[in-house]
Amino acid sequence: MNNSPLKISFIIAGISILLFWGFTSLLNTNISFVYYSILFVLILCSAFLLIKKYIQKKINLLYRTIHTQKILNEPIYDLDKVEKEVQQWVKEKQIEIEHLKDTEKFRREFIGNVSHELKTPIFNIQGYVLTLLEGALEDEQINRKYLQRTQKSVERMITIVEDLSNISNMESSPETLKTKKFDIVSCTLSVLESLEYKAKKSDITLRFDKEYDPIFVEANESKISQVFVNLVNNSIVYGRDNGVTKIKIFDLETEVLIEVSDNGIGIEEEDISRLCERFYRVDSARSIDKGGTGLGLSIVKHIIESHQQTFNIRSTVGVGSTFSFTLQKY
């Protein structure tokens, strides 16, 4: 029901006349119908003006609260409409509060993760330096060993900071991608060659599933190279002895589908949806031991989505994993 000031005024005026009529009846006073009519109109008008002014004042206050940039061009007396807008405003604020809670939770987790990731190499460096200062500096063999370990910890810190910087730049100030035509087969081959030595140290073989003719795509070549580096690195970190990482390229009508598959340890189904979260690892010990930062897949997802393309993960425990993404065909 629409409770307008006019309706409320009619009710007040009616009740007032009934009370006045009852009072005059008790006093046995005869008052003409015209007098009652005039009195009714006067009470009605007075009540209407007072209620109108009161309601408009309250509505203006509400609108200033829920619409900080909204200007009322005309008075609004429809209380049902106001109620709906207030309910909508409350709903929006509740969503906003939940979003802020999620953001705050993410911030706390992120700071905790960064602190944890940097703490390990820093403590390692501290331990190595103290060992050297306490006498190991004089022993050339121990000296060299601890300096190499220190270098490894420093390189890990640099990798973490660089990965964090990349993600931060992509999120805070997304740049306009500078794309160009390039051969995705040649790009992939360059990455495989650059990681061949690292793969051999882990008994992993990197290869295409077959020979490919040149396939041209429209994308940012350096960023797509980074995608391949991160995905192949991931297959090396979680690969098994004598494992194989295969690259497959499917030439579709308007897009190119690329798959990076391994026969590694595989991923539990409940972990797949979280793999692109920052610092999330299926096996932390294995990842850290092989130089993983837990940021690689998050970077991959950002890069592919910045190309307006899709990134997917399929995996079976004990069988292996497949990471696939699409690119615009030239």
The whole-angstrom separation of Cα 244 and Cα 233 is 12
Spell out the domains of the chain, with CATH numbers in brackets: 5-77 (no CATH), 105-172 (1.10.287.130), 180-328 (3.30.565.10)
CA dihedral 256, 262, 266, 270 (to 10 degrees): -10
- Bridge partners for 262 per DSSP: 245
Provide Rg for the chain, Cα atoms. Answer: 36
Q: What is the pLDDT along the chain (330 residues), one digit of tens a residue?
A: 445 555 555 566 566 655 555 555 544 555 555 555 665 566 666 666 666 666 666 666 666 656 554 444 555 555 566 667 777 777 887 888 887 777 677 667 666 667 766 777 788 888 888 888 887 777 777 888 888 888 888 877 887 787 777 777 766 666 667 889 999 999 999 999 999 988 998 899 999 988 899 999 999 998 899 899 989 988 888 888 889 999 999 998 899 999 999 988 888 888 888 887 777 766 554 444 555 567 778 888 888 988 889 999 999 888 889 999 999 998
**H/E element, 45:** helix 33-66
